[in-house]
Amino acid sequence: MKKWFICCMMLFTCGCANLFSGPNCRLSEDEYVAKIAEAQLEAVLHFADGKADLSKHDYFIIKQVANIARLDNAAVVVYGHASHRTRTKDPIQRILVNLDISNERAVNVARALVNAGVPADRISTIAMFDSRPVKRELTRADEAANRRAEIYLYRLR
């Protein structure tokens, strides 16, 4: 958990997300982890290799999530993910490529949520690159499962 926390905090500090790290919010590591635990996964969207484009079905799902977010007065965090494999063998370049595509996926989903009526100040994005795979990528289907964006809702009190 610590490794993941440090990765997320690095991305928060870089300005990729602002929900729990803005000027009005200073959370300790324990508070941050507790806040993450309160999240509810609402949707997972999958992407083609090297792409961040949303499909018509994705927009349909995003509209449903936006309605829930508005009705529940929820904040939204979109985590963009990438598969491990890239066209480059250089490990630093691989991280940068995956960071870029995972960020692009998260940002595209966030834009669609804003267009569906979620206030922009209640949406944050986090680029997770290939740091949180759901599959070990032994097959192409495993790779495809890791190319995703996850939409979490946090009920605001």
- In whole angstroms, what is the distance from residue 22 CA to residue 3 CA? 22
CB 57 within 8 A of CB 49: no
Judge whether residue 32 has pLDDT over 60: no
Mean per-residue pLDDT for 147-155? 94
Confidence at residue 38, expressed as pLDDT on a 0 to 100 scale:
75
Write down all domains in the chain, each with its CATH number in brackets. 40-155 (3.30.1330.60)
Judge whether residue 56 has pLDDT over 90: yes
Confidence at residue 80, expressed as pLDDT on a 0 to 100 scale:
95
Task: Provide DSSP, 91-120.
Answer: HHHHHHHHHHHHHHHHHHHHHHHHHTT--G
- The percent of residues in the chain predicted with pLDDT above 90, rounded, is 53
Which residue spans within the chain are E strands per DSSP? 40-46, 74-80, 123-127, 148-155
* Number of other CB atoms surrounding residue 13 within 10 Å: 10
Greater confidence (21 vs 105) lies with 105
Judge whether residue 107 has pLDDT over 90: yes
How many CA atoms, within 13 angstroms, populate the side-chain half-sphere of residue 153?
20
CB 85 within 8 A of CB 143: yes
Confidence at residue 106, expressed as pLDDT on a 0 to 100 scale:
97
Greater confidence (30 vs 40) lies with 40
Confidence at residue 21, expressed as pLDDT on a 0 to 100 scale:
46
Mean per-residue pLDDT for 32-44? 76
Residue among 122, 105, 107 at smallest CA distance from 16: 107
- In whole angstroms, what is the distance from residue 67 CA to residue 128 CA? 26
